Structure 1
Amino acid sequence: MNTERRDFLRQLTCVLPGFAVLAQPAAAQSTSKPPAAAHDMSAMPATWMGQEVMVMVLYPGFTALDLIGPHYFLSSLMGAKVLLAAKTKELVSSDTGVKFMPDVTFDECPAKLDLLCLPGGTTGTLAAMQDAEMMAFVRKAGQNARFVSSVCTGSLILGQAGFLKGHKATSHWLVKDLLPRFGATPSDDRVVEDGNLITAAGVTAGMDFGLHMSLKWRDREYTDCLALLAEYDPHPPTTAGDPAKAPARAKKLMVDMLAGFHTKVEAAIQSH
């Protein structure tokens, strides 16, 4: 195979939607007769195929985008498996009412994970921090995970489980000041990796986290292709998404609106 054709095929595996699914082992696909391959995968670099097992945790009232953002990129890693885990197989409603179907229960979760990820939220996250069954699962799964991660206020759950102590971490700007209560050092970075702990800032930072893991587990070319396929090049009509740039009035409105949540989180934090 000449170099030009090889390069073309390598690019083709990236830009076609669903290429991660096409590259899954036959056992992970339907037991019926598989369709003919859409394109030749033989030119794919060996480093593009992995076998990571990841679990993203569902709980009532979590923020949907905290999960969906990184899930889009994580599930696009060829050979990887991303499972949604919850207490039961019943639908789990997010904070906006969007419902998610778990793949496995906490009891069915694989013993060894490459990644455990906790999405955030507000009242739902607070309830999760005080849910004994939820916290027992997070502690057990996290201890057996290669990496423990969170998006937004999901870091509060990790903190409650004891995973932030002695690490740099981030969270949603509203509660980042509480991270030292868990023994963590707050960071202003969008994605913070310290040891086997990886935390992402508020909501949309979950997409940055997903690309971070692609760059970590695949390579730059693969990650560039994922970003291009997602057309991830945000140009928001406002700069208020950064608390350092937000108008003072807007920031005060948000702080005042969620002051009760901040106070309740403070009260719920266990000593570390």
Structure 2
Amino acid sequence: MARNPGPDASDGHPNTPSINRRSFTTTAIGGALAAAGASSARAEPEASTSPRPLPRPRMMQNAPTKPLTVAVFVYPGMVMLDLVGPQTILQILNADIHLVGETRDPVMTDLSLPVTPTCTLDECPRDLDVLFVPGGLMGSIACMKNQAMLDVLADRGAQARYVTSVCTGSLVLAAAGLLRGYQATGHWGIVEFLPLMGVTPVEARVVQDRNRLTGAGVTAGLDFGLTLAVLLRGQEAAERAQLILEYEPEPPFHKGTPALVGPERMAQMRAGRTWMDGQTREAALTAAKRLGI
């Protein structure tokens, strides 16, 4: 995600006390005059206008582990929560996260909050610990038809340590041929279309098949992220991340899966998805033909 200029965190803590405007002005003017007198014979370098990155979580600032290299493919219509849940956990694990877009122009998410890619498809790193695709149905369908994106996914996924997705992101991985012959899951609304692209669907919160790791709909991104954390850094690191996030959900009611809401509610939900399901099926069949399935 695009980062805003961070606070002065020279001591490594994001909550360094601020000074008031009057004190700041006095100090700044005095410092400027002193600097001018001391360096009259040479020009001061121009101050950088680039935003300073926010500090990593304090527990990871002196992390002895080598940073993980992660590529997250971002696209218009992406569901923000699909991205930020896993991204937060990966950040805690000391990851260098590359947000990969077709261009570096901001992409609009489902919340009308833009996400700015940090690199283009051509600039995406090749030696990846994790390749990750978040979801967002209509955006995912567009990605399934985007040959440039599919080519890069297929290339990087062929050598990535882990190939992963959440929600409808599994449709995109499948369209790139990265889930053919694997078990996988996704949002309940799209799991039925995965077999069209050579995938064995599993209705589960998180599914691992060899080095493929897929999560179900949206909120499963946190469960997915913690499962991935165990694979990347071990259970102790994953448990520490869980504690930092205070993740121990207690929903006020239990109506979050097709099995829990029952057939009548699901029939109502399906009736409202007819057009979207048709678009998904068409994109999956087109991908299957391209993959020779």
TM band (smaller chain): 0.7 to 0.9
For structure 2, the 5+ residue unaligned runs are 1-55
Aligned twin of 1:197: 212
Aligned twin of 1:245: 260
Corresponding residue to 1:154 among 169, 188, 192: 169
In structure 2, distance between residues paired with 1:204 and 1:177: 20
**SS of corresponding position for 1:75:** helix
Compute the displacement of 1:83 (Å). 1.4
Q: Is the 8 A contact 1:20 1:77 kept in 2?
A: no
In structure 2, distance between residues paired with 1:19 and 1:242: 36
1:75 corresponds to 2:91: yes
Corresponding residue to 1:57 among 68, 73, 79: 73
Compute the displacement of 1:20 (Å). 5.4
CA distance 1:125–1:218, shift in 2 (3 Å): same
Opposite residue 212 of structure 1, the aligned amino acid is T
TM-score for the superposition, normalised by structure 2: 0.75
**SS of corresponding position for 1:90:** coil
Opposite residue 65 of structure 1, the aligned amino acid is L
Corresponding residue to 1:23 among 62, 66, 83: 62
- C-alpha distance after superposition, 1:185-219 (max 9, x if no partner): 11122111112211111111111111011111222
Compute the displacement of 1:19 (Å). 2.7
In structure 2, distance between residues paired with 1:151 and 1:53: 18
TM-score for the superposition, normalised by structure 1: 0.81
Compute the displacement of 1:228 (Å). 1.1
Compute the displacement of 1:221 (Å). 2.1
**SS of corresponding position for 2:103:** coil
Opposite residue 120 of structure 2, the aligned amino acid is T
Q: Is the 8 A contact 1:66 1:120 kept in 2?
A: yes
Compute the displacement of 1:247 (Å). 4.3
In structure 1, distance between residues paired with 2:158 and 2:132: 13
1:187 corresponds to 2:226: no
Q: Is the 8 A contact 1:240 1:247 kept in 2?
A: no
Q: Is the 8 A contact 2:60 2:93 kept in 1?
A: no
Q: Which runs of 4+ in 1 moved over 3 A?
A: 247-250
1:218 corresponds to 2:233: yes
Aligned twin of 1:30: none
Opposite residue 186 of structure 1, the aligned amino acid is P
Corresponding residue to 1:86 among 97, 101, 114: 101
Higher relative contact order (CA closer than 8 Å, sequence separation 6+): 1
Q: Please report the RMSD computed on the Cα atoms of aligned residues, expressed in angstroms.
A: 1.6
Compute the displacement of 1:254 (Å). 2.1
Matched pairs, number: 232
Q: Is the 8 A contact 2:71 2:99 kept in 1?
A: yes
Opposite residue 151 of structure 1, the aligned amino acid is V
In structure 1, distance between residues paired with 2:232 and 2:245: 18
In structure 1, distance between residues paired with 2:253 and 2:152: 39
Opposite residue 93 of structure 2, the aligned amino acid is L
Structure 1 segment 101-180 matched on structure 2, within 5 A: 101-180=116-195
**SS of corresponding position for 1:116:** strand
CA distance 1:20–1:89, shift in 2 (3 Å): farther
Compute the displacement of 1:124 (Å). 1.1
- C-alpha distance after superposition, 1:43-97 (max 9, x if no partner): xxx6xx233201111011011111111111011103x211111011111111221
Corresponding residue to 2:222 among 174, 186, 207: 207
- C-alpha distance after superposition, 1:107-165 (max 9, x if no partner): 11112111110111111111111112221221122123111111001000011111111
- After TM superposition, the structure 1 stretch with the greater mean CA deviation from structure 2, 132-141 or 156-165, is 132-141
Opposite residue 183 of structure 1, the aligned amino acid is G
